[in-house]
Structure 1
Amino acid sequence: MYLFGYGGTGDGHHSRRTSLTGSRKSSTDDVSKVVDDDETVVEDQDKNILSAVLGQLRRGADLSRITLPTFILEPRSMLERITNFMQHPETLLPTNTIEDPEERFISVVKFYLSGWHIKPPGVKKPLNPVLGEFYSCYWDFDDDSKAYYFAEQTSHHPPKSSYFYMAPKQRIRIDGTLKPRGQFLGNSAASMMEGIAILRFLDRPGLNGGCEKYYLTQPNMYVRGILVGKMKFELGDHSYVRCPTLDLVADIEFKVKGYIWGEHNSIGGTIKRASTGEVLYELSGKWNEAMYIKNVRTGEKRLLFDATRAKPTPPSVRPIAEQEERESVRLWKPVVDALIARDHDTATAEKSKIENQQRLETKMREADGVEWRPRFFRETQPRDEDEELDFVLASHVDDRASPEEQVKQILAIGPILPGRNRRPSRYDIPQYRSSVDIHNRSDVAVHDDHLPNSPPPPPLPRKDTHLAPSTGKDLPVTPINEDDLIDLDHGMGKATLVPTSEGVKLAGESSATVDDIEKDLKAIKIEEQTGIKSAGDPTRRAA
């Protein structure tokens, strides 16, 4: 789920043992402008910056391509923030042991509602993940079991974050794709939270020979007062928890405060029999305080979850020294360090470096006729079990296997635990075609806003899942060997590996040389400093 920050105090049943790596938490150091947990007073200078950025937009405008000032950024990536959804294992892990169907469903609703209070003080948004960025972590529990999490940014425009969570011993699995869509609403901004999560109890029978599944959507998010007044965070609109196997659905309304009446952070809702519409339970309370459930048939009302007494269990991550360049913690470390130090100039500069590298790689792929594909996830197909999701885990984790075998399969996905680095593979390396090969057009500049309209020639055949060729007939060429690649090492790791001259010769194709791409990077830097675009030189030549 897309959740705001880290916080909370109190006790939880499943505590986190000290791990080899310790854990990282979202910073809450920059709180000088915070009025309360949901409000921030923005200084006049910063408000002017926001006004300059947003003031010319029309109501309803898409915010996904707008660069917001760093003073409203939370110092961690969206891929990491999604783990807030899993930070109350005391509400999730026992759920699969509950035999009564209604009580088991209620326990899932409790788990769903337990994470919304986790947020930094004030109003903050996470760092937007870059294409191919990934994040992994794990939880240690008191019974010596673990839960594992893996997420990757599977699309940039529109943004899509895909994730996988599993607690093998408890026979629980969650798959999801998050698709936030930002909108400008005048003095407010909204993040329309599209996408779903699918929670499974692997050892409970479900429909059509599958297991018991729960489909979870989420509320939208609003920031009020972005141009005038105090900035205020709210959750709003309806979300649903649905289990077709049990014929139950929870309709949960996150209520926004009206101008005259109402309260902030309130919820209401019902649990119904899906086939008949019969209301069985009513929900009430505040998502950041206490929430209650009432049995309509008996009139009994009981506490469902008290966020003021609950203690989140944040995950642990591998040391940065073991992380790859595209892993969230390592990738954003210079930005995060600057944000924590409240050095917004440095944060902006470091963030721009990452974003400019993304733009350069995008231009190179477009010029070379290469389609990017995720490394750890794949797009779903119409006949897939989870076709409701946009992406699912590319590696196979057998739902029917033993917990011990599932752990082995999970650890084979990628690096999760300390000391278990993933073996590099040439199938992770992007491959580029020279822009000279695109109908002999040598005037395609990385800085150009548009590439030639004529279609590129057929690309090199690929069998990897990281990059795939665009449409066209396969060419019988010699594949580039892993030894014939060189890392440009601009802080982006394997994604900057390109063929050397020898590799190009073996493949029988032209490609960008290191000097050409170095020149492009320097041109971008000059453009940033002067605002003047470099003219003229082709982006790449035959090696």
Structure 2
Amino acid sequence: MSRFFSKLRGNTATESTEGGSSSSKEVEASAAAATGESHDGAPVEEEVVLNESKRTIISHLLKQIKFGEPIKHLSLPCFVLQPRSMLESFTDTFNCLDELYRIQEIQDDEKRFIQFLKFSLTAWHTRPKGIKKPFNPVIGELYDCYWDPSIDEKEKMQGTTETGDDVSHFVSEQISHHPSCSAFCFYNKNRGVVVNGNVNPTYVKFYGNFAESSLRGLIVYHFLKINQVYEMTLPVIGVRGVVLGKLAPFVNGKAVIRSADGKYQAHLEYLTNGLLSSSKNHNGIKGHVTVNGKTLYKIKGHWDSQIFITPDSSSISSANLPNDHILMDCKKLKKYSHFNYPIERQPKNSSENIWRVVIDSINNNDDKTTAEEKARIEQKQRVEEAQRKEKGVSWVPERFVLKPYNSEYPETYIYKDLESIFPNYYSSKPTS
């Protein structure tokens, strides 16, 4: 087992590439700061100091919302918006593909689960830097992309599309708006890996000095070649320092990662710091791994720098292992960028077609056009929804079908084309 943890460290790539870009100098400074560490070893938190004019805008927005109430129909300024849809933000989960594909190369069940745990923790540090929120997708919105290691950035700029045998695909659709439900599917046919995700973000709620949203739902990973299934839930995301202190994003709350049979489980708690609490909790994480209900390992660290896994002192099976193995080191993770399809190949209801004017306006710091176009899109959605309700017509998703996962997650959707891509494993017949 000790050799396995050494291999975890040795197999990681030698370079990490940060994703995303931002237009404000404050965000650029925060992104640079996020790569360092403080004197006590805790990572330097990604923070933004707003100038007086932006603080005034935030203060004006706060007057329109109530403590603990969901934030609805609020026009946000450019400096707090990402130029992408929430559907695209789910691709952050798959940026470290080497760690994902290494999972089914491992024969031992326990070692394989530890590798899956490592992969699942790579998603958070690859998100775009800055205190910015992606758009809420409109019902029926589609977003597709792909990863192709055989294409470099120069070839992509020249218009080259997917050509290799090792292409990974991502398809997604906004299933409903009230309540919000996004469904996505990641798959690689050659490797036999399929991921079905259903995420139900709650409305952002304001609690004085912070605002947060829970990411309810389930993501299920199928490794078809080894007949292995893993499941994971998601924590709470938000921003603090809304009124006092510096604006900074956070990930908070609990999440569970488990094998489908329940034998292996990781119970994680994402940590953040309050206004007066220690900086050691900046982007912190702790938890434990159980096998058949018995604690085998403890986990601690920071998801934006290093995470350690340590054998539990009460575990006989791991008592001979040395302490504090590095489970994940962000500096040694290789990130693969996803590629969007050319706009002429995208459907009219693709994210880029729907939000093109808004994206351009955000990139140009044009708050007026951003607000007007965003309001037009959202109002069009409300009108169409009212018309369907009046006619008694239910919205039918274009790409995904209802397939209840289990009694705990009865309203889950899967990508209906999986039946033709993996005919021996999937049936796309919907459940009434």
Shorter-chain TM-score tier: 0.7 to 0.9
Which residue does the alignment assign to 2:332?
Answer: 309
Of 224, 248, 262, which aligns to 2:240? 224
Distance in 2 of aligned mates of 1:119 and 1:178: 17
Give matches, 1:332-347, under 5 Å: 332-347=355-370
The amino acid that maps onto 1:59 is F
Moved more, 48-57 or 261-270: 48-57
**2: distance between equivalents of 1:183 and 1:284?**
29
Distance 1:247 1:318 in 2: 40
Contact 2:219 2:233 in 1 (8 A): yes
Structure 2 contact 13–333 (Cα < 8 Å) conserved = no
CA RMSD of superposed structures (Å): 2.9
The whole-number CA distance in structure 2 between the counterparts of 1:197 and 1:348 is 33
Gaps of 5+ in 1: 1-10, 16-24, 206-211, 414-464, 469-543
2:98·2:334 contact (CA, 8 Å) conserved in 1? no
Contact persistence 1:26–1:75 (CA under 8 A): no
Shift of 1:65: 4.2
Equivalent in 171, 176, 179 of residue 155 of structure 1: 176
Partner of 2:124, secondary structure, is coil
Q: Is the 8 A contact 1:34 1:40 kept in 2?
A: no
Bigger shift: residues 128-137 or 343-352: 343-352
**Over residues 395-429 of structure 1, what are the superposed CA-to-partner deviations in whole Å (9 max), with x where a residue is unaligned?**
25249947xx99xx99xx9xxxxxxxxxxxxxxxx
Matches within 5 A, 1:86-101: 86-101=94-109
Q: Deviations over 1:485-541 (max 9, x none)?
A: xxxxxxxxxxxxxxxxxxxxxxxxxxxxxxxxxxxxxxxxxxxxxxxxxxxxxxxxx
3-state DSSP of counterpart to 2:394: strand
Shift of 1:308: 2.6
Q: Distance in 2 between matches of 1:52 and 1:140?
A: 45
Rounded to whole Å, the distance in 2 between the matches of 1:185 and 1:145 is 46
**Alignment TM-score, normalising by the size of structure 2:** 0.80
Could you say what secondary structure the match of 1:348 adopts? helix
Counterpart residue type for residue 166 of structure 2:
S
Aligned-partner Cα distance in 2 for 1:317–1:100: 36
Partner residue of 1:119? Answer: 127
Shift of 1:13: 5.1
1:176: Cα distance to partner? 1.0
Instruction: Provide the identity percentage.
Output: 29
Counterpart in 2 of 1:6?
none
**How far 1:101 sits from its partner (Å)?**
0.5
Match of 1:36 in 2: 30
How many angstroms does 1:389 deviate by? 5.8
Q: What is aligned with 1:282?
A: 298
Q: 1:458 maps to what in 2?
A: none
Secondary structure (helix, strand or coil) at the match of 2:92 reads: helix
Secondary structure at the counterpart of residue 194 of structure 1: strand
Partners of 1:201 and 1:166 in 2: how far apart? 10
Q: Is the 8 A contact 1:269 1:284 kept in 2?
A: yes
Partners of 1:56 and 1:351 in 2: CA distance: 18
Confirm whether residue 367 of structure 1 aligns to residue 390 of structure 2: yes
- Alpha-carbon offset, residue 111 of structure 1: 0.6
**Which of 190, 194, 198 is 2:216 aligned to?**
194
| TM-superposed deviation, 1:310 | 2.4
CA distance in 2, matches of 1:360, 1:153: 17
Report SS of the residue matched to 1:204. coil
Partners of 1:202 and 1:400 within 8 A in 2: no
Letter in 2 for 1:319: P
CA contact (8 A) 2:82 2:135 kept: yes
| Aligned length in residues | 380
Question: How has the CA–CA distance of structure 1 residues 72 and 306 changed in structure 2, closer, same or farther, with 3 Å as cutoff?
Answer: same
- CA distance in 1 between counterparts of 2:391 and 2:260 reads 46
1:124-168 CA distances to partner (integer Å, 9 max, x unpaired)?
111111111010111113573111111001111121111011112
Counterpart AA for 1:155: S
Q: Per the alignment, do residues 201 and 64 of structure 1 end up closer, same or farther by CA in structure 2, a change over 3 Å counting? A: farther
Name the aligned partner's letter for residue 268 of structure 1: K
CA distance in 2, matches of 1:80, 1:333: 14
Alpha-carbon shift at residue 391 of structure 1 (Å): 3.0
Cα deviation, residue 14, structure 1: 12
Q: CA–CA distance in 1 between the matches of 2:421 and 2:389?
A: 42
Q: Is the 8 A contact 1:12 1:312 kept in 2?
A: no
Give, as a single letter, the amino acid of the residue that structure 1 aligns with 2:124.
W
Q: SS at 2:140's partner residue? A: coil
Q: TM-score under structure 1 normalisation?
A: 0.65
Structure of higher CA gyration radius:
1
